[in-house]
Structure 1
Amino acid sequence: MPLTFLTGGARSGKSSVAVRRAERAGAPVVFVATGQAGDAEMAERIALHQAERPPHWSTVEAPLDLADAVAGIGPGHAVIVDCLSLWVSNLMGRGDDQASTLDQAHALGRWAAAYPGQVLVVTNEVGSGIVPMHPVSRDYRDRLGRVNATVARYADLAQLVVAGRTLTLDPLED
């Protein structure tokens, strides 16, 4: 099962599920981090995630050029990409348009589907709430939803994580 796609709300347990599955993979683990510590709160969140991971795992920092970063990972690892939500935010902050963002999402999905090892991709599901009032917030919600749908299409297994539990999602029929 090359690509597992894990989505859900904030603090739903997505990262913990990915960490537990990578630990059980029986392969060296590479954690691909997309977050950036732009303030004290984010630095604290990153530190908590780092403490959850075993110290012998490798970490690749990829806040922007995610497809290029993962392409350099050798075969046979369990790879966790955490998370697409921050990555999309970072791309928007850099000024990437939606078409470029989706092209990069396709590149990530193609890599993950072909990778000779387990890949776990973590993201947030932000489209279940109200329509945001601010245009930037609406753009983020829409863009992340499209990125999630794009990457999930490449997945062998897609799951919604709620309260630390998973629900398997059926693929869309074409």
Structure 2
Amino acid sequence: MKQLITGGARSGKSALAQARALEWQQQTDGKVVVIATATAEGQEMAQRIAHHQSRRPNSWQLLEAPRNLGDLLAKHSQPNTLIMVDCLTLWLSNELFGGDWPMAKEALLDALPGLPGPLILIGNEVGQGVVPLGEGNRRFVDECGWLQQHLSPLMDRVTLTLAGLPLELKECS
């Protein structure tokens, strides 16, 4: 099953994704791989990363990958391995402002249908507030929205989190 969990900052996305991954692991005795896209630039971000790491089981494998997500998913996806990507929004930022965003997005979208294993993607809803100042900021918000619109049809399940509560937007049985 391929899932997208989206919501605002501190809405409970990662906690929900971790609970679903743990439940899957307990039911299947499978392996969980976390692909972390953040880079520790500054103490505040390092603290955020440490917080996320402290909430995950030590048995889960961690891959740090700020870029080239499509290739990494294709390389590591297996039927008995759930991959959790935390988070798409930081990956988008890394590719948009330091990589080749159109190619990276295309590689991700091309890889998804062929992945043999379960997948949980975590991303932020960033376009529900005011229109941001600055061309780069507006482009980031637009690209984030378009990315999730392109991902949703490829997902079996899409969940929006608000105040720590999941709202199922799409669920295929």
Aligned to 1:80: 84
Letter in 2 for 1:162: L
TM-score by length of 2: 0.90
Q: Is the partner of 1:141 in helix, strand or coil?
A: helix
For 1:108 and 1:60, locate their aligned partners in 2 and report how far apart those are by CA, in whole Å. Answer: 18
Shift in Å, 1:108: 4.4
CA contact under 8 A between 1:6 and 1:160: conserved in structure 2? yes
2:129 counterpart of 1:129: yes
* Cα deviation digits, residues 130-163 of structure 1 (max 9, x gap): 1111111000000111111111220011010111
1:9 aligned residue: 8
Please give the residue correspondences for 1:47-66 in structure 2 after superposition, counting only pairs within 5 Å: 47-66=50-69
Answering whether residue 122 of structure 2 is matched by residue 119 of structure 1, we say no
Q: TM-score by structure 1 length?
A: 0.89
1:96 Cα deviation after fit: 2.4
Identity level (%): 37
User: 2:93 corresponds to which residue?
Assistant: 89
Contact 1:25 1:118 in 2 (8 A): no
Q: Which amino acid aligns with 1:15?
A: S
Structure 1 unaligned runs (5+)?
none
What is the aligned length? 166
Runs of 4+ aligned residues of structure 1 deviating over 3 Å after TM superposition are none
Closer, same or farther: CA 13–50 of 1 in aligned 2, 3 Å: same
Corresponding residue number in structure 2 for 1:164: 164
Distance 1:101 1:72, change over 3 A: closer
Contact residue 40 and residue 46 of structure 2 kept, 8 A: yes
Give, in whole Å, the separation in 1 of the partners of 2:112 and 2:125: 17
Tell me how far apart the structure 1 counterparts of residues 132 and 104 of structure 2 sit (CA, whole Å). 21
Distance 2:91 2:36 in 1: 9
Tell me by how many angstroms 1:109 deviates. Answer: 3.0
1:116/1:128 CA distance change after superposition, 3 Å: same
- What is the RMSD computed on CA atoms of the aligned residues? 1.6
User: Which amino acid in the other structure matches residue 165 of structure 1?
Assistant: L
Once the two structures are superposed, residues 58-113 of structure 1 have per-residue CA deviations (whole angstroms, 9 ceiling, x without a partner) of 0111101111111121511111011110001001221424x324313413433xxx
